[in-house]
Amino acid sequence: MRRPADAPPPRITRRGLMLLGLQFGVIGTLGWRMRDLQILQNEKYRLLAEENRINIRLLPPARGTILDRDGRLLAGNRQNYRIVMVREQAGDPAAVLARLATIIDLPQEARDRVLREMMARSAFVPVVVAEHLSWDDVVRVAANSPVLPGVEPEVGLSRFYPDGPSTAHVVGYVGPVSERDLEKLEDPDPVLQIPRFQIGKTGVEQRLEPLLRGHAGNQRIEVSAAGRVMRELGRTEGQSGRDVNLTIDAELQIYAMQRMERQSAAAVVIDVRNGDIMALASAPGFDPSSFVFGIRSGEWNALLNDEYRPLSNKTVAGTYPPGSTFKMCVALAALETGAAGPGDTVFCGGSTTLGRRRFHCWKHGGHGTVDMRRSLSQSCDVYYYEMARRVGPDAISAMAHKLGLGIAHDLPMPAVAEGNMPDAEWKKIHRSEKWTTGDSFNYGIGQGFTLASPLQLAVYTARIAGGRSIQPRLLRAVGGAPVEIPAAEPLAIAPRHLEIVRGGMFAVSNEGTAYRSRFVDPENLMAGKTGTSQVRNITAAERAAGVTRNEQLPWNRRDHALFVAFAPFDNPRYAIAQIVEHGGGGSAAAAPIARDILGFALYGGPAPLSAYPPEQRGAIEEERAARPPQSEPDASAAAPARDRA
Amino acid sequence: MSAFDSARGATPRGVAKLLALNWALILLLAAVAATGFLMLYSVAGGALQPWARPQMIRFGIGIAAMIGIAMIHIRFWRAIAPLAYLGTFALLILVEIMGEIGMGAQRWIDLGFFQLQPSELMKIALVMALAAYYDRLDPARVSRPLWVILPLLLILAPTALVLKQPDLGTALLLLMGGGAVMFLAGVSLWYFAAALAGGAGLVTTVLKSQGTDWQLLEDYQFRRIFTFLDPSADPLGAGYHITQAKIAMGSGGLAGRGYMQGTQSRLNFLPEKHTDFIFTTLAEEFGYLGTMTLLALYTLIIIFCIVSAISNRDRFGALLTAGIAVTFFLFFSVNMGMVMGLMPVVGVPLPLVSYGGSAMLVLLAAFGLVQSAHVHRPKARD
């Protein structure tokens, strides 16, 4: 087996060189492959490497604040202390959460949610454990940090509403972006993808969202394979939202809300000269903060099931038959068409008949001979049955639209109602029936198909008072720059006709149905019109049973009480539309409230006793003494910031 | 031993022996190892710990061991070759038994200062044993079936054990390294042709065994093979490593992204970046110039060894040197082929660069044998 010792050992030269050649072949292949990867495909892989490492993170902009006309804060941002937890630093997250629950309020269900969320995300992603904490909570958590690994306090911005329920309907509220919100938007701003980013859900917050939101900044960050942030590569600062001034006078608004306490009511105060809406009060209010913090289902159901409908903004979205407050419109239509002059009279015997139907005047005994001024001051129904019959629905509808009724005004509010000021055509389309004289009779007294919102009634009153076709507006300034509006055109109505109607309204307040709700200050005399709108017909059975009085009916079947007015009479400044749902008669339920609110606007505070009729001053003084003084909004709730940190 | 006896007078002694070492080869090895230190320093985020410093110390020990081994006459190594093989084989069986009796799937024996992997040692012991075998075998009988079966058994026995561990990379290296020595010794090419055909048949059989009772590879090994065939099929799973490795290498470009500027490795997109995938970091940070330089160093080492082997009249020394060179070649080519996506990921380190004690020490010891063969080579008689 052994090779012979004398023979020279065979060399491996040939096979060695063959093997070397084979190896060169392999090495050549490796080199060629590296050239392909590193030289030829370099661009592609360089790009992939950049995509690997760079993430763009959005920086949410600070939301613009909402201020009243004098710069008082209606919606602002305040520091929101929250606690976040990082799973990988926590060790045993469940145990840490249990320990945390002994320090701050953290119910079991919240702990379960946090655990689920942490498990669903990467280990290093901070998960919000609790929000809207007090400074004391934050201090306690910080002090216990050694036993709370992975738990850290954070400061963010959250929305707050200093005047709470008083301005809730106007200002609205914000909430986290929902899937439904995203579907509705055509070009969703990427900032909406930020978890927990808040957008306006209703009110001005919703409608002025594009102004208030601002633009997101972004941060280019380098991330590791696991997604951990390594460093910031660059940053583009975003742009904060714009601050907006509303035309609302917060103090007037708050006063109006207080004045309508425990009522289902609405009041709109408007500047006759330029259409500025000074107050847009819908009672009862609700606390917008409960929506920002996430409303509990019990509270939500309570709001939904309340028959006073606190979530509804009755000022712009609620529509009611205007009742007798509509009579100025019919009177103007009669004057403008020449159907009646101011001196023409109608005899009121308490009712009038049309075919076999009898149409009653509110006053059973009748008003006797009635001219236009008296028809307004006494609110004679028979007079307006006759006027409506003479003028017809089309002229009334045209006049109503001229005066701002039956139009959805352009306000930054959701669900601004159009109301309804029908003409003959409307009935043919919507009811498939011919317009009847009976329909005209109902039209004449603002009943039947007629619907108007308090906002529309306020515009209507302001247009009659000022003679100009003012447009209501809510946005006074954006970013400190006033929003310019063109001067309102004079109404296409003969000034002397307006003069006649205004005279009738003066008579209402100073000698007629609203006499008890007048001011005696010669500087601020009022001119108004009461209204009582039926929400049902008194049935024959009820009449038989003797139920004809409103107070005997269940609340939700009682009449709505309305009142519109402007003042001062000789130099109109403010107009108001007031409704008290199911409040009964306009003169008793709506006019006194409207007078106080209008007085507050005129005098810049509660009207002095001297403005009231002497015989009422005693009672008003007593009532004011009983009522606690208007409290300032609770500013201490806003946690103080850095100086204590 | 005639060739040796006659050359004894020319063999250097004492300090002269040191000078007779192939210093160029040592320099090349040091250059490669230095590249490793640089890369280990980089992947540690610019720190000597935890990898660069231990690696340097091991390299120092390894170089000392290499020179020590080189000083001992090649006769001695030839004499103990069978013993070395049998001892290493016994150790392989020992770790296998230790694994069986519940010490976990351990592939190494803890020697205190480092962990000895018998499978690493076997790569050299096998080459030694085969070289000694062919040194003693009458060249006329090299291709006779009986004399082919014995070396085949020498190769397949440890290969089977290693495959069972399971360590596909080492098994591949043993098989191919052993085969290379047989090839160098002059075994008929027909055997290799037959082996290739048989290998192809075996691969088919192995692939077909998946999912059957007699499955020949572990599931993860199958996955690696399939991932190799189509990495994009599973971009976030097993194919992730290959994809990220390609991104790292490809993004390096011609000159690289700069030392310690490789985002793929620094941001942990790369797997095993200090061991089997360290080449990707080199490629990313030093680019094509860097990878080609390393490839050139490796190629030079191979050339030095093969030239030394071809010029060596001592058959044992020549076969040993060439066999070790091929093993070394297999190390880096399999590793590079693996990270470049030319081969399945089988777990072979980049020689002298990847972090790891066993491989580094065993490789330097092997180069000690190469040096010994070089220093003690018989001088020409004519």
Interface confidence (ipTM) of the complex: 0.90
**Secondary structure, 3-state, chain B:** CHHHHHHHHHCCCCHHHHHHCCHHHHHHHHHHHHHHHHHHHHHCCCCCCCCHHHHHHHHHHHHHHHHHHHHCCHHHHHHHHHHHHHHHHHHHHHHHHHHHCCCCCCCCEECCCCEECHHHHHHHHHHHHHHHHHHHECHHHCCCHHHHHHHHHHHHHHHHHHHHCCCHHHHHHHHHHHHHHHHHHCCCHHHHHHHHHHHHHHHHHHHHHCCCCCCCCCHHHHHHHHHHHCHHHCCCCCHHHHHHHHHHHHHHCCCCCCCCCCHHHHCCCCCCCCCCCHHHHHHHHHHHHHHHHHHHHHHHHHHHHHHHHHHCCCHHHHHHHHHHHHHHHHHHHHHHHHHCCCCCCCCCCCCCCCCCHHHHHHHHHHHHHHHHHHHCCCCCCC
Model confidence at A233, pLDDT cuts 50, 70, 90, reads confident
Contacts of A51 in chain B (CB under 8 A): none
Mean pLDDT estimate for chain A: 87
**Out of B185, B249, B322, whose CB is closest to A37?**
B249
- Report the residue of A20, A40, A228 to disrupt the B interface, i.e. the one with the largest count of B CBs within 10 Å: A20
Give me the pLDDT at residue B331, please.
94
Measured between CB atoms, does A10 come within 8 Å of chain B? yes
Contact check, Cβ <8 Å, A16/B247: no
C-alpha to C-alpha distance for A260 and A594, rounded to whole angstroms = 10
Model confidence at A169, pLDDT cuts 50, 70, 90, reads very high
Contacts of B184 in chain A (CB under 8 A): 12, 15-16, 19
Reading the block at residue B129, the tokens are 């044993």
Give me the pLDDT at residue A304, please.
86
Distance of CA A93 to the CA centre of its chain: 41
Measured between CB atoms, does A8 come within 8 Å of chain B? yes
C-alpha to C-alpha distance for A112 and A118, rounded to whole angstroms = 10
Longest dimension (CA), chain B: 65
Pairing of strands A66-67, A244-246: parallel
Asked if pLDDT for residue B53 goes beyond 80, the answer is yes
**Out of B253, B268, B287, whose CB is closest to A225?**
B268
Measured between CB atoms, does B136 come within 8 Å of chain A? yes
Contacts of B340 in chain A (CB under 8 A): 30, 33-34, 37
Count of A–B CB contacts within 8 Å?
A: 158
Contact check, Cβ <8 Å, B250/A27: no
Reading the block at residue A257, the tokens are 């809300």
Asked if pLDDT for residue A174 goes beyond 60, the answer is yes
Which residues 585-614 of chain A have a CB within 8 Å of chain B? none
Find, in chain B, the residue whose alpha carbon is nearest to that of A227. B267
Model confidence at A637, pLDDT cuts 50, 70, 90, reads very low
Q: Could you report the per-residue pLDDT of A502-537, keeping only the tens digit for each? A: 999 999 999 999 999 999 999 999 999 999 988 766
Measured between CB atoms, does A2 come within 8 Å of chain B? yes
Cβ-based neighbours of B111, under 8 Å, separated by 6 or more: none
Contacts of B141 in chain A (CB under 8 A): 1
Which residues 450-469 of chain A have a CB within 8 Å of chain B? none
Contacts of B254 in chain A (CB under 8 A): 38-39, 42
Which residues 347-366 of chain B have a CB within 8 Å of chain A? none
Model confidence at A136, pLDDT cuts 50, 70, 90, reads confident
Which residues 110-129 of chain B have a CB within 8 Å of chain A? none
- Report the residue of A23, A39, A46 to disrupt the B interface, i.e. the one with the largest count of B CBs within 10 Å: A23
Measured between CB atoms, does A40 come within 8 Å of chain B? no
Asked if pLDDT for residue A629 goes beyond 60, the answer is no
Give me the pLDDT at residue A632, please.
44
Asked if pLDDT for residue B83 goes beyond 90, the answer is yes
Give me the pLDDT at residue A91, please.
78
Average pLDDT over residues A441-447: 93
How is A578-590 classified by DSSP, letter by letter? Answer: EEETT---IIIII
Q: Could you report the per-residue pLDDT of B194-227, keeping only the tens digit for each? A: 989 998 898 888 888 877 777 777 777 777 777 6
Give me the pLDDT at residue B235, please.
56
Asked if pLDDT for residue A158 goes beyond 70, the answer is yes
Measured between CB atoms, does B137 come within 8 Å of chain A? yes
Reading the block at residue A139, the tokens are 């201090």
The CA-atom distances, in angstroms, between A435 and each of A206, A222, A382 are: 40, 73, 19
Reading the block at residue A484, the tokens are 């310019």
Contact check, Cβ <8 Å, A30/B263: no
Q: How distant is the Cα of B31 from the closest Cα of chain A, in angstroms?
A: 19
The CA-atom distances, in angstroms, between A395 and each of A340, B98, B225, B374 are: 13, 107, 88, 121
Contacts of B324 in chain A (CB under 8 A): none
Find, in chain B, the residue whose alpha carbon is nearest to that of A18. B184
C-alpha to C-alpha distance for A485 and A492, rounded to whole angstroms = 20
User: What is the number of alpha carbons within 13 Å of residue B375 lying toward its C-beta?
Assistant: 29
Asked if pLDDT for residue A438 goes beyond 50, the answer is yes
Which residues 321-360 of chain A have a CB within 8 Å of chain B? none
Top-confidence range, B75-84, B132-141, B255-264: B75-84
Q: Could you report the per-residue pLDDT of B150-165, keeping only the tens digit for each? A: 999 999 999 998 887 7
Q: Could you report the per-residue pLDDT of B24-47, keeping only the tens digit for each? A: 999 999 999 999 999 999 999 888
Give me the pLDDT at residue B354, please.
94
- Report the residue of A1, A3, A55, A220 to disrupt the B interface, i.e. the one with the largest count of B CBs within 10 Å: A3
Contact check, Cβ <8 Å, B329/A23: yes
Q: If 0-12 CB within 10 Å is exposed, 13-18 middle and 19+ buried, where does residue B51 land?
A: buried
Asked if pLDDT for residue B124 goes beyond 60, the answer is yes
Q: Could you report the per-residue pLDDT of A317-365, keeping only the tens digit for each? A: 999 999 999 999 999 999 999 999 988 999 999 899 888 888 889 888 8
For the beta carbon of residue A303, count every other beta carbon within 10 angstroms: 18
Measured between CB atoms, does B171 come within 8 Å of chain A? no
User: Do residues A602 and A574 lie in contact, with contact meaning Cβ atoms separated by under 8 Å?
Assistant: yes
Q: Could you report the per-residue pLDDT of A538-590, keeping only the tens digit for each? A: 555 555 565 566 677 788 888 899 999 999 999 999 999 999 999 888 888 99
Contacts of A11 in chain B (CB under 8 A): 310, 313, 318
Contact check, Cβ <8 Å, B138/A42: no
Q: How distant is the Cα of B72 from the closest Cα of chain A, in angstroms?
A: 22
**CA torsion sign, B304 to B305 to B306 to B307?**
positive
**Of the given ranges (A496-505, A634-643, B9-18, B367-376), which has the lowest mean pLDDT?**
A634-643
**Out of A19, A42, A53, whose CB is closest to B180?**
A19
pTM for this model (two decimals): 0.68
